[in-house]
Structure 1
Amino acid sequence: MILKNKLNLIVSGMILALGQAHAQNFNNNDESYDPSKHVWEYTYQLAEGDPLVFQQWHLQNTGQTAGAANPGKAGIDLNLDFTHRRGIFGQGINIAIIDDGLATYHPDLTANVTQGDTANPNPYLFQYFSAGRNRVDNHGTMVAGIAAASAFNDKGGRGVAPYATLTGANLIGNQANVPSLALAIRSVMDMDGAVHPMNKFTDARVINQSIGYTFSDPTIYNTYRGFFDNISSVQQTAATQSHGGRGAISIKSAGNDHFIGGRWSDREKGELTLVYPNAYALPAYNTSVADPGNANFWNVTVSALNANGTLANYSSGGSAVLLAAPAGEYGDHSPAIVTTDLPKWCKDQAQNQCEYPVYTNGMNGTSAAAPALSGATALIMSANHQLSWRDVKHLMITTATQVHADSEARMIADFEAIPSWQVNGAGLAFHNDYGFGLVNVDAAVEKALQTGPILPALKIREYDVATTSDTTIDDDFSATDSVHTQTESLTIEGVQVRLNLDHERLGDLSVELISPSNTRSVLLHAGTDLEGSKFENTLLLSNHFYGESAKGDWTLRIIDTNAKDSWSERTYDVPSGTFNDNSIVNLPQRADKFQSNNTQPGNLTGWSIRFYGH
């Protein structure tokens, strides 16, 4: 038995090898040993002790099927094997699951659940009817298992950080006990009226949000600005004033809004036809505009990878994505995620009609990617407790693995609507689908063990930008530019733009920001399912410029691409995780969603820019 509660901290600068019974020494006399390789470039077998762990491809992808008809691609995983072999399992880190509650009595969760000052709610276990379908509140339980299910107990699988502790907050369940996201965050951080010290073992250092919104009206942020700003303010407090200033990090799912509709074109083969609200099969939604929470700097927004190492067919993308994490497809033609499920749920209060799933191999969505990243974050934090949330974020960015390296730019005729991988002015590769890439736990942990605090104090600078009188947006691919000259030196960690404009068909617009280093970040790609006729203080975030210098000219560029005169569909091959060649077919706009082209030029009415950095 491993006494995981005896030690909760990793003393600065050295590792306390908790779990040595499961350690594996690498034999440097072996013929395969190469001293020029980094430790994270080797593959170590995961220790036994959990019967389902060898189907958990997100932990170690060996090409297993996880119950699907087709395998994944070996190596597409979190690369955490050496970290676990070192005995780093998330000790001393609490992960808050803000969701529909979690089954605190699950045999693979109960040992890690901590009450703290906030009671952990049990989910409502009885089947109920909502939004036209029968539902069961098992989402938070599946999420929690990905992040921190127990290890070495001969039950089920294991979490990414199996010695981290868990706190649940029921925000979206049938019997929710917190009325808002801001209050849920306050509860898991033990904030009261004044800011609490928030340094206890039971206060979250990782706040998982496998939740979100999908809005087609870009004025929604301004309409509910107080609501969204309150969430941002609470997250800022958690990030800057908790755990002795080291802070808590908020992880958020990007959204599952890549397409506007879909159908099986060949279910047996696993061919899925996806429908898009534009003529070029460009994604239906953008992370920042569809969900203002993704444009919040205090969130780390994560997209979803399938087991083949490409973007899962449903996953949203955009410049607000920071990293990618494994989530899978649907579990039939291609692997989904193996995790905990409700140990019991019943259709009746008398509990005469009950099911006992306990585990599932069908969890997916960016809801699954978020806890994978939350667990990874907990591992890095537990390797070196000195590191701040920004230090950990920095390590994940600078060690991430570039996936889908041969991906191609997405085009509207000759116009590059969404670039492929681009190297920014700081030498970091970025992609709107994947951010800086797939989190690489072993590489980040190795660096965490060799360093102390990394980044100096955070600076935030905001500027209103004066627009010229000639700010019309013409319907001819010509660029409407507005320039802000930044005189203060700052190393960038994130850039926000607050945008105001008028236009009769917003889905035609491409909004770009070009840095002094000539890095072009697409803040909003053309062809989205936007409705209305204006942007009103609409918030857009780009992580693309991380590490660049802010000093110099920043150009906001708006282009009317005329992308929406027809819709399109495209065939996605689920087993391979790729789109079929030459499968784009144009469709007429759906009658109830028809948008005629603008009859007048649009107009940029104002914008501001905010820099986060050091």
Structure 2
Amino acid sequence: MALLLYASLALWAVPVQAHSQYRDFHQDPTFYVNRNNFSTSRFYSSQQHAGVEALSRHLALEIDAEEGHARELAAKYGLHYVSKVFENPSVYHFHRPSGRQKRSLNNSALLSALAKEPGVRWVDQQKSLVRVKRPALYDLTSRTQTHTLKSLAKVLGRRREARAREESSLLSKERDFWIQEDEDSVDRSSTRAGIAVRLPGSYARPYRGGYGGGLRSYGKRGYQGDFGYRDLDSQPLSAAESEEDAVRIQSMSGLEDLAGTGLDFNDPYFKDQWYLHNTGQLGRPGYDLNVIGAWRRGYTGRGVVLSVLDDGIQAKNADIAENYAKDISYSVIRDGRDLRDANPRLDPAFSNSHGTYCAAAIAAVSNNEVCGVGVAYDAKVGGVRLVDGSVTDIQEATALSRNVEAVGVFSASWGPTDDGTKAEGPGRLGKQAFRRGVLEGRDGKGVIYVWASGNGGLEDDNCNLDGYVSSIYTLSVSALTDTGASVFYGEPCASTLAGVFVGGEHTLEEALQKRSRNQEDIHLVVPELDGHCSSSFQGSSAAAPLMAGVVALVLQANPSLTWRDVQHLVVRAARPTREAAEEGGWETNALGRRFHLKQGYGAVDAGRLVESALTWENAGPQKRSTIKMFDGYRPIPSNDWLNVTGKLEPSNAMTEVEHVVANITLSHKQRGMLRIYIVSPSGTTSQVLTHRLQDESTSGFTHWPFMSVHFWGENPQGLWTVAIKDDSGRKGSLRKVDFVVFGTC
């Protein structure tokens, strides 16, 4: 059945890692300005950057005064007052209207005048950033598909050729092992972190995502339950990894098991929502989010408020209106409309339906005879209209921190362009907004930011170079097929915590074959802006709101959970399906937990998460330890390894790892051919950078934070290693590595 479908003016300047649409920030090291030597008379004007980047009409001001004074300044200079974004120090968001007053001050004069106002500490005219929504970029059924069947066939051919060349090059290497920082002290018999570790044969057969497989095997031990293990050599994975799963799957012979439970909804397409309740509509029965396990306990999201940061939400949409949270909805786009109006801008193609899709995936109203049902169908969902054209750091900060006292979960399905060339993330204000959210949100327990991992797999993109996905403050999730395997357009990265069933194909070959047969699978059921229903919403864009809905169920079950507690629960509850476990690229950490660069710790299970949340004891305070691993100059050997190490002393109070971040500064003539790994004291290896064949940047990286969640729960004490491998034969040098371990006692 087919459904209808800051020139930044600043009185002091800081490094900003959000970037314009025109250039990679790392290509211009002069963009970093030493704030101690910064002249207050220096302006970065649009004339100075002509053809390079564009200044927007959004301004950020830090003012030592209350909101009333900020509004007075806005009136005095003909500015629109948007919002107060931060306290202590107070930062305000303003917008300058275009062409309204012939005698209005030009940019430089306006900024100079504002900077001289009493109480104004700095002024920042914001640069335009490109942030794109993340549906499946290679969705072959989409009416707005970005690639034709013919062009995708060409992509497939080019990828095969590139992989063959890469494999041939790697096989020709006689020596490919890590070099200890001090080679004279190397014990060649050791196989521990960073000491002459040889790669297994699988290294020369890169996994489909292009990241070369694991460095070595630690044995096939499967993680089962919170602390149970299973020897996978003697006991292969079954269709379900636990007795609980087996019982649940056996009970699903049809929708009859919901009759009389209150969960036999009258929504016409609920029966097609296999990702909520899979009785065999697609894939295998039981391969779904297991929301039924949470719903049966009475957890439907009631009392939880969520905010979708996107292109707007259609407030009167029949499948959303009853659950729409008007009070928390807002717009940071200045286009003449009321800022309290978060409805999408309409065009003939309804291209701004993305946010409405996401809101419906989270909280579509149940039993209203419209389309389908949301994961948290009793939750309230609003949003911030943000992604419709270029955005700025202050707009993002306003959205990320908007109503953090009332919102429990933010869902975001956007980021830098997934083209395999960018290294971009939130700017200074965006980072500050994330910190505010986790420190002040939910009465100090922290809001949960759920983020889509990205869809740039065919461009060999890596979401660790997306600073939103790789932030420790975001719970990043990827898209999985109906069998739980990674999708062909998925991006690898060490920051992905888990995967979510949305459907699709595991390989591009499968996708092309389906298209040639005009075969269309059902993905997420969502309402269209014109009142019809659609079943084609997929990609990591769809995974994020589904996960946000699951988090709402979890917070209803245990409102005392912190943002870190939720991540702890996901790590423990996520598991790969049988088919997913057979996919190449799985590794095992020191606790026996299996992890994957595209699937995180496996598929999300709402029932298991809720059950675990009910008895979960809050994690202790977050601990942070920094290791100054390297600061100087060291050449990166051509076609060889460079290691640096640092030790976390036993005197440190931390006992369990959560996140680790290697902040790396290096120069290189072809950074897309670098691989970077982190190795824990227990010997677990996590690849934090994979080959990006489209990335021909010669700028290297400047204090880029490579983050991994693969060491979760391990003992942090001992020697940590960062290993860098050049596969290009081009020149490069390492300048600095600051290593940070986040964890708890």
The normalised TM-score by structure 2 is: 0.59
1:59 aligns with 2:276: yes
SS of equivalent residue, structure 1 residue 475? coil
| Counterpart in the other structure of 2:411 | 208
Residues 222-371 of structure 1 aligned to structure 2 (within 5 Å): 227-260=426-459, 284-289=460-465, 291-329=466-504, 333=519, 335-344=521-530, 356-357=531-532, 359-371=533-545
| Counterpart in the other structure of 1:97 | 308
**Runs of 4+ deviating beyond 6 Å:** 174-179, 215-219
Paired residue type of 2:740: R
CA distance in 2, matches of 1:380, 1:174: 34
CA distance in 1, matches of 2:488, 2:361: 20
1:126 aligns with 2:329: no
Instruction: Decide which of 293, 312, 315 is 1:82's aligned counterpart.
Output: 293
Paired residue type of 1:555: T
Task: Report deviation, 1:122.
Answer: 4.5
8 Å contact from structure 1 (residues 96, 168) kept in 2:
yes
Residues 542-561 of structure 1 aligned to structure 2 (within 5 Å): 542-561=708-727
1:501 aligns with 2:669: no
| Counterpart in the other structure of 2:375 | 160
Distance change (3 Å), C-alpha of 1:139 and 1:217: closer
8 Å contact from structure 1 (residues 463, 608) kept in 2:
yes
CA distance in 2, matches of 1:455, 1:313: 36
Distance change (3 Å), C-alpha of 1:525 and 1:210: same
The normalised TM-score by structure 1 is: 0.71
Alpha-carbon deviations, 1:551-600, whole Å to 9, x = none? 110110011224xxxxxxxxxxxxxxxxxxxxxxxxxxxxxxxxxx62xx
1:486 aligns with 2:661: no
CA distance in 1, matches of 2:725, 2:709: 21
CA distance in 2, matches of 1:48, 1:311: 31
Distance change (3 Å), C-alpha of 1:336 and 1:239: farther
Task: Report deviation, 1:335.
Answer: 2.7
8 Å contact from structure 1 (residues 167, 188) kept in 2:
no
| Counterpart in the other structure of 2:385 | 170
Report the aligned-residue RMSD: 2.6
SS of equivalent residue, structure 1 residue 321? coil
CA distance in 1, matches of 2:743, 2:550: 24
Paired residue type of 1:206: V
8 Å contact from structure 2 (residues 622, 742) kept in 1:
yes
CA distance in 2, matches of 1:526, 1:440: 31
8 Å contact from structure 1 (residues 216, 531) kept in 2:
no
Instruction: Decide which of 264, 267, 273 is 1:48's aligned counterpart.
Output: 264
1:396 aligns with 2:570: yes
Distance change (3 Å), C-alpha of 1:218 and 1:298: farther
| Counterpart in the other structure of 1:438 | 603
Instruction: Decide which of 471, 475, 488 is 2:638's aligned counterpart.
Output: 475
| Counterpart in the other structure of 1:150 | 365
Instruction: Decide which of 413, 422, 425 is 2:590's aligned counterpart.
Output: 425
Alpha-carbon deviations, 1:208-250, whole Å to 9, x = none? 00111137798855xx8xx523222212221122222222100
CA distance in 1, matches of 2:327, 2:388: 21
| Counterpart in the other structure of 1:537 | 703
Paired residue type of 2:343: P
Distance change (3 Å), C-alpha of 1:179 and 1:556: closer
Instruction: Decide which of 665, 677, 693 is 1:512's aligned counterpart.
Output: 677
8 Å contact from structure 2 (residues 394, 429) kept in 1:
no
CA distance in 1, matches of 2:392, 2:428: 22
CA distance in 2, matches of 1:501, 1:608: 12
8 Å contact from structure 2 (residues 310, 413) kept in 1:
yes
8 Å contact from structure 2 (residues 375, 550) kept in 1:
yes
| Counterpart in the other structure of 2:737 | 607
8 Å contact from structure 2 (residues 308, 384) kept in 1:
yes
**Structure 1 unaligned blocks of 5 or more:** 1-35, 65-70, 129-133, 190-197, 261-283, 345-355, 410-419, 563-596
**Structure 2 unaligned blocks of 5 or more:** 1-241, 252-256, 331-339, 505-510
Paired residue type of 1:543: V
Paired residue type of 1:465: M
CA distance in 2, matches of 1:220, 1:441: 33
CA distance in 1, matches of 2:641, 2:483: 38
CA distance in 2, matches of 1:493, 1:500: 23
Distance change (3 Å), C-alpha of 1:240 and 1:41: farther
SS of equivalent residue, structure 2 residue 659? strand
Q: Which has the larger radius of gyration?
A: 2
Distance change (3 Å), C-alpha of 1:462 and 1:38: same
8 Å contact from structure 1 (residues 501, 605) kept in 2:
yes
8 Å contact from structure 1 (residues 123, 138) kept in 2:
no
8 Å contact from structure 1 (residues 287, 318) kept in 2:
yes
8 Å contact from structure 2 (residues 365, 378) kept in 1:
yes
Alpha-carbon deviations, 1:172-223, whole Å to 9, x = none? 136999962211122242xxxxxxxx2xxxx1111000111137798855xx
| Counterpart in the other structure of 1:139 | 354
8 Å contact from structure 2 (residues 485, 583) kept in 1:
no
SS of equivalent residue, structure 1 residue 160? coil
Alpha-carbon deviations, 1:401-453, whole Å to 9, x = none? 213444454xxxxxxxxxx22221233211111111111111111122233x3
Task: Report deviation, 1:393.
Answer: 1.8
CA distance in 2, matches of 1:605, 1:510: 16
| Counterpart in the other structure of 2:124 | none
SS of equivalent residue, structure 1 residue 243? helix
CA distance in 2, matches of 1:336, 1:611: 42
Identity of aligned residues (%): 26
8 Å contact from structure 1 (residues 489, 549) kept in 2:
no
CA distance in 1, matches of 2:743, 2:444: 17
Distance change (3 Å), C-alpha of 1:516 and 1:292: same
8 Å contact from structure 1 (residues 307, 334) kept in 2:
no
8 Å contact from structure 2 (residues 421, 692) kept in 1:
no
8 Å contact from structure 2 (residues 672, 697) kept in 1:
no
CA distance in 2, matches of 1:326, 1:308: 8
8 Å contact from structure 1 (residues 121, 168) kept in 2:
no
8 Å contact from structure 1 (residues 40, 79) kept in 2:
no
Task: Report deviation, 1:39.
Answer: 7.9
Alpha-carbon deviations, 1:377-397, whole Å to 9, x = none? 111111111222221221121
8 Å contact from structure 2 (residues 643, 724) kept in 1:
yes
Paired residue type of 1:230: L
Paired residue type of 2:275: H
Task: Report deviation, 1:103.
Answer: 0.8
Paired residue type of 1:95: L
